């Protein structure tokens, strides 16, 4: 059975980012997470991480469409 919740260390490994970047995603609200236990450790639901990844794919696709690679900037003559 797949884990429902994962630690921020696992999030950073999956996304290949630093622990600080994973923490910043959670604290900014970009990636939904919960605090659990007496020490208030962060946990991210696997489905939330997948939703975040899909959202980033969509945002990247929109960005690429608006900024095509190789498009020459118009220069005044």
**pLDDT tens sequence across 20-66:** 999 999 999 999 999 999 999 999 999 999 999 999 999 999 999 99
Which residues, 6 or more positions from 45, have their beta carbon under 8 angstroms from its beta carbon?
A: 4, 5, 6, 32, 33, 34
Q: Residue 44 is inside which H or E element, if any?
A: strand 41-45
* pLDDT tens string 3-33: 999 999 999 999 999 999 999 999 999 999 9
Domains and CATH numbers, the chain: 5-62 (1.10.1660)
Measured CA distances, 8 to 29, 47, 63, 74 (Å): 14, 14, 27, 44
């Amino acid at each position: 059975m797949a884990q429902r919740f994962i630690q921020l260390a696992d999030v950073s490994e999956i996304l290949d980012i630093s622990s600080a970047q994973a923490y910043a995603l959670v604290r900014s609200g970009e990636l939904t997470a919960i605090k659990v236990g007496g020490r208030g450790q962060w946990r991210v639901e696997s489905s939330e991480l997948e939703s975040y990844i899909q959202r980033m794919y969509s945002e990247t696709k929109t960005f690429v469409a608006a900024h095509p690679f190789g498009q020459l900037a118009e220069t005044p003559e």
